[in-house]
Amino acid sequence: MFRQNEVFPGVYHITDAMGVSFTLIEGDERAILFDTGYGTEDAGACVKTLTDKPVKVYLSHGHHDHVLGARWFDRTWMCREDTEEFILRTGEEQRKKVKSQAAERGVPVPDDIMDAVIPLPETIRFQSCTGGFESLEEDLGGMTVRIIHVPGHTPGSIVVFIAEYGLILTGDDWNPCTWMWFPTSKDVLGWRENMKTLIQTLEAEGTEIRKVLCSHQPMAREGKELKDYLAYMTDERIREAPAVDMGVPVDTHQIVKEPEGWVLVFDRAKKG
């Protein structure tokens, strides 16, 4: 069962039964969907209950909990850098894992979860730059949305910025619990600097980042929390972070800050 939260007029943050969130952004003439969820429910049908306008689907990155729902759409767009990840995460082994996870949570899955065709995303054609990051703008009619390529959680990760609302959608490049330990993730210092540079660049244009939508949070977070989180992850804290077992052969370390509940897990062995 999808849950929808209208964060701003025309901006719907949608959470699926598996707990991951994606976002519909509707202008006067067109709409964008940012991510598609686990695919255990018909995201296309959900979107049609919210808008009758043409919808273009952007995928924040290639991980399964963001792209398996692409099965409900004819066309999607994603950075080419995440193509291999997309192919891996929509493959048979990953589908089996999702089916098992859904069963453990009591979430029904479509009968064709193992067989449904998921079209390969088309490559995003960036047209300009935001700071040092590739970007493009989509005019939805009465609302302009900027798509920005910010390598971090994966090499092809993108974020979305809506200046009219001071709103940034971070995908998995930032959650209050951020994971930077996957094989294709950027080194932790490089990710941190990319995020800081992005924020500084956007705010230097004259728009304060006031709200943040994350992929693993059903409600909007404050822009100040994102900035404070990044400031907290200092070189010293990263050097001194204790090891944590993530059940994989990776040199994973973790920073935790309470009472905010901030977590950063990263691969210490990976250098820029």
| pLDDT tens figures, 89-106 | 999 999 999 999 999 999
pLDDT at 272 over 80: no
- pLDDT digit string (tens) for 18-55? 999 999 999 999 999 999 999 999 999 999 999 999 99
Cβ within 8 Å of residue 62, ≥6 positions away: 78, 82, 83, 84, 85, 86, 88, 89, 154, 156
- The letter for the amino acid at 234 is T
DSSP, collapsed to helix, strand or coil, labels residue 180 as strand
Residue 129 sits in a domain of what CATH number? 3.60.15.10
Residue-wise pLDDT tens digits, 174-199: 999 999 999 999 999 999 999 999 99
> Do the beta carbons of residue 133 and residue 198 sit within 8 Å?
yes
What residues make up the domain containing 54?
3-267
Is there a domain that residue 272 lies in?
no
With respect to residue 49, please indicate whether it lies within any of the assigned structural domains.
yes
Summarize the confidence of residues 109-113 as an average pLDDT: 96
Q: What is the pTM of this model?
A: 0.97
- Report if residue 231 sits inside a domain: yes
| pLDDT above 90 for 169 | yes
**CA dihedral in degrees (184, 187, 188, 192; nearest 10)?**
-100
190 domain-assigned: yes
| Domain count of the fold of the chain | 1
Angle between helices 188-204 and 223-232 (to 10 degrees): 140
